[in-house]
Chains A and B, each alone.
Chain A
């Protein structure tokens, strides 16, 4: 009798891994572009978080968007996948902590995640947005977890063809013993 696929084999399935990679990559590239286009506005956003010393605000505003962009591109192109996933995971942890601390303080801020302009929202709207941002980033962190799981131990680059074979397409050898 054939056993069904295990959770582990589903999680490391190349079909899923490729899509997670592309989704995370696209999200981080989209998040980086407005910040790179307007560093002073992003510096203003970072300042509003009240977490970074004044002398470091500008350096963070210049550097973080490029880390996002390069990590996002690496995921899209499928190069240095594991390193890029680590960086993306680290960024998400920092973002969750930054927004979470301000939520705990009751300090309403614009997230500055995808748009660095002042959104002109009320305090209540901003706090609601911040709760959503924490949830959204936690969801993305799960995606990063999937990527790290699927690429553990130097597993090879997923190929769509390999994905079809693993799914047991007709005419292909069944990889499941």
Chain B
């Protein structure tokens, strides 16, 4: 058991950034019980989720994320000024991602640094940010949304059907390690 712990420590220290894990997990509770910031007094807890085709995405400081369908994601992408973040593993990102999306794998050790760096870039906290993963029961996008919310972003939108749905719609994708 101790030998296994020593091997685990050594292998994690020697691992590359995409294979390394943070020692203490910073994974928030699973969906359904999002850890929220304190809701401002008088703030309504019920922010309606945008419907398909809706083009207005108001901030929702009362909850970490709002799920949006593919039509809404496509309209946000068409605007050109909305940041898209890919929560899947970097290897999956390299194989194909939504055009202009940035890699933010929640399971790799540098995700918290990336969130901090993203905040330091000076993005407007109430501007929409779209996060996605593999759709289905994938919750990586929700985990990333939670991290962004805790970092101070009030308008994180989770594209719940994720990259498979985007591909099915024939929308623009890119391969490789950069957006």
Residues of A within 8 A of B (CB): 36-41, 43-44, 47, 50, 54-59, 61-63, 65-67, 69-70, 87, 108, 118
Which of A39, A55, A63, A87 touches B19 (beta carbons < 8 Å)? A39
Closest residue on chain B to residue A50 by CB atoms: B30
Closest residue of B by beta carbon distance from A67: B4
B11 and A59: CB pair below 8 A? no
Q: How many A-B residue pairs have CB under 8 A?
A: 77
- Most chain B beta-carbon contacts within 10 A, residue among A36, A44, A50, A55: A44
Tell me the count of chain B residues lying within 8 A, CB to CB, of chain A. Answer: 32
- In the bound complex, what is the Cα–Cα distance between A69 and B10 (angstroms)? 15
A63 surroundings in chain B (CB, below 8 A):
4-5, 8
Question: Smallest CB–CB gap between A83 and chain B, Å?
Answer: 10
The interface residues of chain B lying within 8 Å CB-to-CB of A108 are 137
The 4 A-B residue pairs with the shortest CB-CB distance in the complex, in nearest-first order = A40-B107, A66-B4, A54-B27, A62-B8
Chain A proximity of B179: nearest CB distance (Å):
21
- The answer to whether A59 and B18 have CB atoms under 8 Å apart is no
Set of chain B residues within 8 Å of A62, measured between Cβ atoms: 8-9, 11-12, 21
Cβ contacts B3-24/A at 8 Å (1 or 0 each): 1110111011001001111111
Distance of B1 from chain A, by nearest CB (Å): 6
Q: Does B26 contact A (CB under 8 A)?
A: yes
Once the chains are docked, how many angstroms separate the CA of A61 from the CA of B4?
12
Whether A57 lies near B1 (C-beta < 8 A) is no
B27 contacts A57, C-beta separation under 8 Å: yes
- The chain B residue with its CB closest to the CB of A60 is B25
- Asked if B141 is at the interface of the complex by the 8 Å CB criterion, the answer is no
**Neighbouring A residues of B22 by C-beta, 8 Å:** 58
